[in-house]
Amino acid sequence: MDHDKYAVRKAIKEDCESIQRLIQELADYEKMPNGPQLDPKTLEQDGFGTRPFFEAFVAVEKESNQIIGFAFYFFTYSTWQGKSLYMEDIYVQLQHRRKGVGLSLLRSVSQVALSENCVRLNFSVLNWNSPSIEFYKSLGASDLTEKEGWHCFRMNRAEIEQLAQCKA
């Protein structure tokens, strides 16, 4: 990364409006423009309230002082190996890619994982996103669908509510 042009730092509450804008850019890139349901206030509450559900780094272009990228993460636990970190999303605006910004964000997340003694850094990549898949593989990441056959599943709110009401 060109350290004269960019800086990576921990996100603060005041960054949430810019982060929300970038989340929408990411959704547009991932061909899911109607996906994001969060406003900046929700991000503030969920990330900087009394019980934070995520932490984040932001990349800032020094000249403009604009946030041009982010990496969201949170801690999980592996019943097989222990402490883990899950990177929910990483994004860098298109015009700032291939300048080391994404790598610097990912390196910052990996440093947190090591400082917390995590044994895993997990994340997901859309199957059509070949540039990202190749980038992560070049860093030593394993595609768990290829290697171990793991598939990711999700239950949305309606399914959670339905399941919670079931009587055994």
Active site residues: 136
Among residues 73, 44, 70, which one has the least CA distance to residue 58? 70
SS3 sequence of 55-94: EEEEEEECCCCEEEEEEEEEEEEECCCEEEEEEEEEEECH
Among residues 90, 126, 96, which one has the least CA distance to residue 108? 90
Our CA angle for 118, 122, 127, nearest 5°, is 170
